[in-house]
Structure formats: C-alpha cells, structure tokens
Amino acid sequence: MALLKGTLDVLVLKALSWGPLHGFEITRWLEARADGQLIIEDAALLQALHRLEERGLLKAEWGVTENNRRARYYALTPAGRTKLKREMESVLQSVAALTGILAVRTPSQGGAR
Amino acid sequence: MSERGVRAGVRRLFRLALHRPDWAADEADAELESVLQERVDFLVSGGMAPDAARAEALGRLGDSIHGARARLQHSAERRERHLMLSEWLDDLLTDGRYALRSLRRSPAVATAAILTLALAIGANTAIFSAVNAVMIRPLPFQQPDRLVALWEKNPDFHWYQEDAAPANYIDWQEQVSAFADVAAYPSFPGTVTLTGSGAPRLLPAQVVTGNFFEVLGIRPFLGRTLRPSETWSTGGPSAAVLSYRCWRDVFGADRGLVGRTVQLDGQSVEVAGVLPERFAYPGLDVDVWQAVGWDPTARTQVWFRRAHFVRTVARLKPGATAESANAAFQAVVTRLEHDYPATNTHMGAGLTPLHDFLIGSTRLPLLVMFGSVAVLLLIACANVGNLLLVRAAGREREAALRLALGAGRGRLVRMAFAESLVLATLGGAAGVALGGWGTRILVAMQPPGMLPVQDLSMNWGVLAYAVAGTALSALLFGIAPAVWMGRRIPADALHEEGRTASGSLRSGRLGDAILVCQVALAIALTLGAGLLVRSYLVLQGVAPGFESQGVLAVRIVLPGIRFDSTRKVLSFYDELEARARALPGVEAAALVSQVPLGPPSWSSQFSIAGHPTPDQGTQAIHRELSREYHKVMRVPLLRGRFITDADRREAPYVVLINETLARTYFQGENPIGQRVAFDRIPDSMSTWRTIIGVVADERQASLAESPQPEFVAPYSQEARSAMTLLVRTRGDPATLGPAVRQIVAQLDPGLAISSMQTMDEVRMASLARDRFLTALLLSFALVGVVLGLVGVYGVVAQLARRRTREMGIRIALGARVGQVQWIVVRHGVVVTLLGVALGVGAALATTGALRTLLYHVAPTDPATFVLVPLLALVTSALASWLPAIRVSRADPSDVLRSD
C-alpha cells in the first residue's frame, strides 16, 4: 500500500513521540504498526526528516546504534509535539470524513451483488 | 536530547550540533549509508544472504542510489542553511533580550551611555550631512565630473585662481578645441527689484552667458533656459529664467507665468522658463537668472581684456582628459599672452575640477569640523567603554558562575558585545534623530555663504554613515568589557570572599589604558580648539582702521534703466545724503561705493606720472565716496587735505591715497600733488587725477588681511549706481533704520533697500566664519573635556572603592588623611599626565593642518600648549579629589568590619 499523500510527516512525528529514533528505526516502527501494509521509501523518509528538522519540528544528533554503527537520531521539539497534535486531529478528521463517504453503499453496485 | 532519557543499550556520543552547509552533504551521505546498513543488518539477522540483503535495501530506497544521494544532499544543505540563520537570529534575540534586561537593572549606566552616544552620534550625523552635501554628493549637473573651472593667475599681483577677463574667456571658448563649450558668469552677486505686484521686492539675481545651462546640461522645468545667442546684447527685449523656489514662492507656482513679462528693476522682462527644483549651483543662491547681454563691440575694447571679473565653467569634449585639455588650453593662453602684451603679460591660467573649485575655501573648515567631531565620538566611546568595564568588573561573580555552569567563554564575550550593541543601537537611533535636528541648527547658525550648498537634507549616505559610526562605536567600546569577560578566570572569582581581588586590579589597568587614550583625545581636541580661540581673539583685537560703533550702513542699488544718466544718479544720492544728514541725532552722513570688511571692491592697475612703468604690475583697490566719509568713519588724515564740496564733477579730478599706497609707491617722496592714471601704460585717453591727501589705512577685504594699496576718489567724479549710505549717530544707529527707509521711499517708491546693517554688524559678520568654526570646535572640545573629566572621576572613584579597606587600614595604622588622599589623587594625576603627554604629541603632529585657519598664531603656539595641559591637570586633580575625600572620611572601624 502506498502512502496517502501528505501523511508521511505526521506518521514520522507520531513515531518519534515515543522517543528519539534513527531513520531505519522509524521505518521499522511504522512498518511494524502497519502490519506490513505500508511501504516507506527510505529516500523519501530521509528527505522528510530533513524537511521537518529545517522547520524546527525535529532536532537531530549523531549517536551510535545497537549494532555499534553511527546513525543520526531524531527527536521531537516542543514545536514538533504541538504540530503532531494538530496534524493528528486534522488527519483523523479527514480520514473519518473519507470513511463516511466511502461507506455509503452505491445502489447499482449493491444490486449487482 | 530526550526527556525520556537514553534508550537501553544505546551508547550515545553526542557531538555539538554543527550547522555548516558545506558539511551537510557529507553528513547526508553518511546518514543514507547508515540507514542502508541498518536495513542490511536487519535483513541478515532475519536470515537473508548479505548480497541479497544489500540489493533489497537498495530496492527499498525508492530511487537510484545516486538520485537519492543527490536529493538528500540538497535537502540537508537547505536545512543547514536555514537552521544556521535561525540559530543565529535566536541567539541574537536571546542575547539582545538578556542585554536589555541587564541594562534595565542599572538604568543610570544605561542612560548615561545612551545619552553620551546619542550626543556624539548626533553631532557626527549633523556634520557629516554638511560634508556629504558639500564634498561628497556630486554636483546636480549632467556628467558633473566632465566640468572644470578655468581661472587666471598672475605672479605680479599674487593672483591664483582669479577671475578671468571676459575677452580671454571668449578666446578660450572659441580656440581651445578640447572644450566642448565654456560658459561664464560675473563673480559679483547681483540683485533685481521686482515691482508691479505689491511692495518692491529684492530678488537675488545672477547674469550668465547664454550657454550656461547648456554647458551644465540643465533642462528647464517649464519653458526654456537661456540661449547661447543671448550672451550678446541685440537691443531686443530681455528674458529671465526663474528658480523653482522663486516660481513657487513669489509667483505662486503659476504654470501660465512662462511667456508673460514681469517688471525687474523697472524694465519689462519676459519670463522664459523655470529651472527644475533640484538645480542648485554652489555659491550662487539665485532666484533670477539673466543673460549677460554684453555689447558686441566690447570684444575689441581693451577693458574687456583688462577687467577680470568672470568665473568660467568648461565642459571637456568626449575623449579629452583634464591633462590633454589643459595642454591645449595652455597653448591658447600662451598665444594670448604674446598677442596682447598690454593686458596679458605674465597672465597665466589653469583649470580645476568644478566641484573642487566651487567648494574651495569651505573644504578645510569642514574637514576640521569633521575630524573634531569624529574625535569626539572616540572620546564618547572611551567613556562608555569604561562605564561598561566598571559594570563588567562588578559582575565578575556572575560571569564566573556562568562559566562554571558551562557557558562558553565565547558566549560570555558575545553577551558583553550584545550589551554594547543594544546600547549603541539605542544611542545611534537617538543620535540620528538628534542629528536631523542638529543639521537644521547647523544650517540656521552657519554664517551666510559658509556652506555653498543649501540642501543639507539627510539621505542614505548620511544614514549609512550614522549606522557605520554606531556599529564602529559599539565595537570600540564593546571591546574592553568583552576582553574582560573573555579572560576571567572562574576559580578565583568564585572563591573570593571579599571584593578586592587581583581581577579587579586587572580591570582597573584596562580602564586606565582606556582613560589615557580618552584624555589624550580630549587634550588634542582642546589644543586644536584652543589655537582657534587664540587666533580668534587676536583677530577680533585687530584695529580695523575705522570706528564701527554708532554707524548705520544702508545699501541702495539704483536700477540702470531708470537712472540712466550720471546726473540722475548723482542727484538721487546727493538728496539722500542731505536728507539723512538732517535726521535728528545724526552727526555726519556720507556715501561710499563699498564699506570696508564687506564685499570686495574693484581694483585696477595704475601708473604714476613721472615714475617709470614698473616691471611688475601695479594693483590698487579703488573706492568712491562723498565728502564726509572720513568724518563718519573717523579715519584720520595723515597729509594733505580731505575731499571737499569743491571737488565737483566739473572740477579737476582728485584722489586720496591710503598709507600703504604712499609707503609702497612713494618711498621718501611727497605724494601730494602727484598725478595718477588707472592704466598700467597710460595713453592719450587716460584720465589723470591729482593726489590731494594721504589717509590712514582701513582693513579692506577682512580683518585678517593686511591693508592693500588703495585710492579713494570723490563719487561725484566717478558716479556709481550702487552706493552705501553711512550715517553716524550719537545713539544706537539701528534706531535710524525706519527714518532712512522712509527717506528712500519718499525719494523713490520703486526702490528696495539691499541691506541695512550697523557697521558693528558688518565687522562682526566679517568674522562670522572664524567665530562659527571656533565656537563649534570649542563646544566639541568642552564636551570632550567634560567626558574626559567624568572618565577620570569614574576610574578614580572605582579605584577608591576597591581600596577603601586598604585606606582604612592605613588610617588605622596612623597614616595622615592627606597621605591617604594623595594615593588616590596621584592615580588620577598620573593617568592624566600620560594622557596629556600623548595628547600633546598627537596635537603637535596634527595642528599643522589648521595653519591656514590661524591668524598670527603658530600651530604650536606655546601659550596654548602650556595652558591647556595645565588646566587639564588641575581639573583632573580636582576630579580625583572628590572620591579621595570620600575614602579618607570613611571610619576605619566600619571599613575593617565590612566584607
């Protein structure tokens, strides 16, 4: 399943709300929670991280992973936390609206079934 | 990094966040590689073969490895640039906010610093406005750098950059091919009387050659400018071009004015056009511009080449340089010298860029003012620097604590600078406001004609100067506290029990160094001002040769169109003089063509009957006056007789000479009865005049110039249409004004009075420039001295505070109060002595620049160089004594118990 346009940012923020993670950890966290239904391209993810950091929603520092490898760790800033809250509400609202619309049964299709 | 702490098993080696765009690309590559490797590790740990895992990881990139790398490098660079900027702004805001808060905690220091800076920057802004308007701003003409002024010189008369003879000017214009065109204008300012609408109104006027505006490249705002053909009079109706100001203020900005005729000096003149608003010619503040309208027959007459009265403006031909033009010019000048030996012997000529020529004598005073005001700013910076240093030293514990808590030294330095910057910004803003105000004061207070430019408005250049000055001062006075903050050692400050510490002494030494510089600057400035004051006092004491008190001078110019005969002119002035003499309280009344110390008089060459023609030219001023002149001005007769009523027009021509002329040209001879002609080589046309007396010298052009040889002739034998009525009264001469005005109005209601001044005013006005410059420099120096004394007081008081305890011990051990006080005072005196030595050295090296501004005072005048340092020492000793008294009054037991 491809990602709904514009939702990657909010998903990244959500993933980081539990604590600092490096790029691959974020992918793994998201893919684990999506039951393998979600595919995130690494380049797009890293680009999103750069963008979020530029806007001051994330801060980053170099650290060492469990495999003793250098990695860039990202964490939410207070601004990022606020942003996550607002974005989550708006995404959930629009998903609810979409779900509501798509749940309406279409008569002709219903007849064919 | 995170409130939730370090995750289990993760060892973090945090490095400082480095926001550097050039590192971002490497960082992005490293991050991409790390993500790929993490995925490979993950896949391999799940059982996949390493090669396959690598391929899978690359596949999950969503892009080729190169594409991804490029994208990420780009986004990382963008991020770093952005973050660097916001970080910087963030820190700036933080530092600024902190600086504001900490300054609010010491409002006295902040106010003193801001006021000092505002004054200094304000004065700088005002003076720089003048410098900018006069010296930097290009002339408001087309390609002004292609314009040069042509002038004549003659070693025989000590002429340099003199006015040219019109016939020479015309030959230059026609024969020097390197000049595209040359315009000229007579060097004497004129006026015209506007009548026909309300009371007669006197307007400043100037005649110019017809091509004047063309040479400058000025297009009219309305109508046309003058035409080249109008240089020569054709007998037709004359035209005038008005300044924008005149059109707006006198004629109510009437667009229909062009083409209409107005009455100027009783003559109908067509308004040909209006000049643009921004047109201004330095030194000519003129409302009515008319063509010279020379008589075409004048070209061949000898006076046209003998009388030197025009200034010229030449435009270089495209491609011509000043050097090549000058070479071509000199060839023509040499030819003219050869062709016209009677008039052009030894007559050289030269050219100067027009801008330099026009600002001429204003340059040095302006530069002196500018230099002084810059020194004043330095003094102010030293003051503020010391103020902040004292404050920084008082906060050493705070600084040490910050350092101990992990603040970087650089951060402390920045904080100190932020304070300076905040102070400078506030002071600078107030200074620019003050400067705008100061500029207006400068324009209002400047003696007439001192600044050849009227428009001193503030512009971007001035603003940029003010901002640069502000930033520079912040840097200057910020260095001391910043250096101080940067080198504090945290340990000793934290361990200190008392206030006295080695650190304080070190801050004291830095403060002393600043103070020495400050005193040196103030001394140098005061020495410069002192020289000017000395010179002014000498100048003011010069006896002018006449008695100015009790004399009113009223200038009246008769328009030639109505007073077209000598008879009419003479009868008007005779009647005017008679009626003025009849006024109650009047002792004597006379007429003179030019009052002394006023505008320059005519001068000409002359010859003495029976004397050989000298190789070097003879040059004498000549004035025309009526019988009672010497009685009004109380100028004594040395030999012979004064002019009498018998010296009428029909009588033999007579002339008086002054002492200098008698001494210069009649050594040992009796001049009385000898005859002179105003021609270098007299011919059959020459008019011979008999010398009837010798009068004492009067100063002529200015008090500073020694008297020149001068002839005075009865005005009835040499009528002039412009004369000044002089009236001596027993009371206040100014009270005669209304009565004289009334007489003039009764005699001719169409006449406007050109000027009305007492001779005391004329005398003061002739010193106006010197007085203005002296007063300005003196006030700068006074401010500098006050700042210097405040600096001495501040540093000594700081020292006294630090050593109160020591003094208490000394007194407790039996030291006398005087001894203790001397320890404190000595410090102030020693620092001042060092400053004085440095300042005197600096002044000796620089006051030479004032040489031409000084009258009979050497740039190393011993009196000034002794008096000023002496005063400085005495006042600084007094300033040091105040804190000393306080120290010695302290009760030893209190002092010892404190801390």
Size of interface A-B (CB pairs under 8 A): 117
State yes or no: pLDDT of B659 exceeds 90. yes
Measure in Å the smallest separation between the Cα of A98 and chain B Cα atoms.
Answer: 28
The reply to whether residue A43 touches residue B36, judged by beta carbons under 8 angstroms, is: no
State yes or no: pLDDT of B14 exceeds 80. no
Of A39, A43, A67, the CB nearest to B63: A43
B554 within 8 A of B724, measured Cβ to Cβ: yes
Q: What is the pLDDT of residue B338?
A: 93
State yes or no: pLDDT of B32 exceeds 50. yes
CA-closest candidate to residue B729, choices B572, B580, B624, B595: B580
The reply to whether residue B38 touches residue A19, judged by beta carbons under 8 angstroms, is: no
Q: Which residues of B touch A64 (CB under 8 A)?
A: 10-13
The reply to whether residue A46 touches residue B41, judged by beta carbons under 8 angstroms, is: no
> What residue type is assigned to position B66 of the chain?
H
What span, in angstroms and rounded, lies between the C-alpha atoms of B406 and B419? 21
Of A28, A63, A67, the CB nearest to B12: A63
CA-closest candidate to residue B247, choices B273, B278, B265, B227: B273
**What residues have CB less than 8 Å from B287, skipping those under 6 apart?**
B203, B204, B205, B242, B243, B245, B246, B250
Count of beta carbons in the 10 Å neighbourhood of residue B227: 14
Q: What is the pLDDT of residue B625?
A: 93
Measure in Å the smallest separation between the Cα of B408 and chain A Cα atoms.
Answer: 20
The reply to whether residue B34 touches residue A65, judged by beta carbons under 8 angstroms, is: yes
The single residue listed with the structure tokens 């160089």 is: B865
What's B255's DSSP letter? G
Strands (E) in B38-137, as ranges, are: none
Of B28, B35, B83, the CB nearest to A42: B35
Q: Which residues of A touch B (CB under 8 A)?
A: 19-20, 22-25, 27-28, 39, 41-44, 46-47, 50-51, 53-54, 56, 59-67, 69-73, 75
Q: Closest-CA residue in chain A for B87?
A: A56
Best mutation target among A54, A69, A74 (most B Cβ atoms within 10 Å) is A54
Best mutation target among A12, A21, A24 (most B Cβ atoms within 10 Å) is A24
The reply to whether residue A64 touches residue B11, judged by beta carbons under 8 angstroms, is: yes
Measure in Å the smallest separation between the Cα of A105 and chain B Cα atoms.
Answer: 36
Measure in Å the smallest separation between the Cα of B321 and chain A Cα atoms.
Answer: 57
Bridge partners of residue B756, in order along the sequence: B554
Strand B675-677 vs strand B722-729: parallel, antiparallel, or unpaired? unpaired
Measure the CA angle with vertex B765, ends B158 and B549; round to 5°.
110
In angstroms, the Cα distances linking B48 to A6, B34, B41, B42 are: 33, 18, 9, 9
Q: Closest-CA residue in chain A for B3?
A: A19
Measure the CA angle with vertex B651, ends B646 and B654; round to 5°.
85
Q: Which residues of B touch A75 (CB under 8 A)?
A: 1-2
The reply to whether residue B61 touches residue A72, judged by beta carbons under 8 angstroms, is: no
Q: What is the pLDDT of residue A17?
A: 92
Structural domains for chain A = 8-101 (1.10.10.10)
The reply to whether residue B83 touches residue A53, judged by beta carbons under 8 angstroms, is: yes
Of A19, A24, A64, the CB nearest to B35: A24
Bridge partners of residue B288, in order along the sequence: B205, B242
Q: Closest-CA residue in chain B for A59?
A: B1
DSSP secondary structure of B7-61: PTT-----------HHHHHHHHHHHHHHHHHHHHHHHHHTT--HHHHHHHHHHTT
Strand A21-22 vs strand B267-274: parallel, antiparallel, or unpaired? unpaired
> What is the 3-state composition of chain A as percent helix, strand, coil, each rounded to the nearest 5?
60, 15, 30
Average pLDDT, chain B: 87
Of B7, B38, B72, the CB nearest to A43: B72
CA-closest candidate to residue A31, choices A12, A53, A50: A12
Bridge partners of residue B274, in order along the sequence: B222, B242
B617 pLDDT tier (thresholds 50, 70, 90):
low
State pLDDT tens for residues B521-558. Answer: 999 999 999 999 999 999 999 999 999 999 999 999 88
List b or e across B321-357, with b for residues whose CB sees 16 or more CB atoms inside 10 angstroms. ebeebbebbeebbeebbeebeebbeebbbbbeebbeb
Burial of B82 (0-12, 13-18, 19+ CB in 10 A): middle
State pLDDT tens for residues B710-728. Answer: 999 999 998 888 999 999 9
What's A64's DSSP letter? E
The reply to whether residue B42 touches residue A41, judged by beta carbons under 8 angstroms, is: no
The torsion of the CA quartet B641, B647, B653, B657, rounded to 10 degrees, works out to 30
Q: Which residues of A touch B9 (CB under 8 A)?
A: 66
Count of beta carbons in the 10 Å neighbourhood of residue A45: 22
State pLDDT tens for residues B52-102. Answer: 999 989 988 888 889 989 999 999 888 888 888 887 788 778 888 888 888
Angle between helices B363-394 and B409-445 (to 10 degrees): 150
List b or e across B557-574, with b for residues whose CB sees 16 or more CB atoms inside 10 angstroms. bbbeeebeeeeebbebbe
Q: Which residues of A touch B82 (CB under 8 A)?
A: 54
Bridge partners of residue A64, in order along the sequence: A70
State pLDDT tens for residues B149-201. Answer: 999 998 887 888 889 999 999 999 999 999 999 999 998 878 888 988 778 88
What's B284's DSSP letter? B
The single residue listed with the structure tokens 């510490």 is: B501
Distance of CA A53 to the CA centre of its chain: 15
The reply to whether residue B62 touches residue A24, judged by beta carbons under 8 angstroms, is: no
The single residue listed with the structure tokens 């010491």 is: B106
Measure in Å the smallest separation between the Cα of B84 and chain A Cα atoms.
Answer: 10
Measure the CA angle with vertex B113, ends B108 and B114; round to 5°.
100
Of B34, B42, B62, the CB nearest to A71: B34
SS3 B151: strand
Q: Which residues of B touch A15 (CB under 8 A)?
A: none
Q: Which residue has the higher pLDDT, B684 or B702?
A: B702
State pLDDT tens for residues B737-788. Answer: 999 999 999 999 888 888 899 999 999 988 988 899 899 999 999 999 999 9
Of A23, A41, A64, the CB nearest to B10: A64
SS3 B370: helix
The reply to whether residue B42 touches residue A28, judged by beta carbons under 8 angstroms, is: yes
What is chain A's pLDDT, residue by residue, as a tens digit (113 residues)? 556 667 888 999 999 998 999 999 998 898 888 877 788 888 989 999 999 998 889 988 888 888 888 899 999 999 999 999 998 898 888 888 988 888 887 776 544 44
The reply to whether residue A23 touches residue B1, judged by beta carbons under 8 angstroms, is: no
Q: Which residues of B touch A81 (CB under 8 A)?
A: none
The reply to whether residue A50 touches residue B76, judged by beta carbons under 8 angstroms, is: yes
3-state helix/strand/coil string of B521-546: HHHHHHHHHHHHHHHHHHHHCCCCCC
Q: Which residues of A touch B79 (CB under 8 A)?
A: 50-51, 53-54
> What residue type is assigned to position B141 of the chain?
F
B182 within 8 A of B149, measured Cβ to Cβ: no
Measure in Å the smallest separation between the Cα of B25 and chain A Cα atoms.
Answer: 12
B495 pLDDT tier (thresholds 50, 70, 90):
low
* φ/ψ (deg, to 5) at B855: -110, 115
B206 pLDDT tier (thresholds 50, 70, 90):
very high
The reply to whether residue A67 touches residue B38, judged by beta carbons under 8 angstroms, is: yes
Angle between helices A8-16 and A78-103 (to 10 degrees): 130
Across residues B413-442, what is the average pLDDT? 87
In angstroms, the Cα distances linking B103 to B329, B440, B745, B857 are: 66, 32, 67, 48
Q: Closest-CA residue in chain B for A42?
A: B61
Q: Closest-CA residue in chain A for B35?
A: A24
CA atoms within 13 A on the CB side of A3: 19
Best mutation target among B10, B29, B85, B87 (most A Cβ atoms within 10 Å) is B10
Q: Closest-CA residue in chain B for A26?
A: B35
What span, in angstroms and rounded, lies between the C-alpha atoms of B255 and B247? 9
What span, in angstroms and rounded, lies between the C-alpha atoms of B379 and B400? 30
Across residues B369-394, what is the average pLDDT? 88
The reply to whether residue B35 touches residue A23, judged by beta carbons under 8 angstroms, is: yes
Q: Which residues of A touch B1 (CB under 8 A)?
A: 20, 59, 61, 73, 75
Measure in Å the smallest separation between the Cα of A74 and chain B Cα atoms.
Answer: 9
State yes or no: pLDDT of B489 exceeds 60. no
ipTM here = 0.86
What span, in angstroms and rounded, lies between the C-alpha atoms of B131 and B371? 11
Measure the CA angle with vertex B582, ends B577 and B583; round to 5°.
100
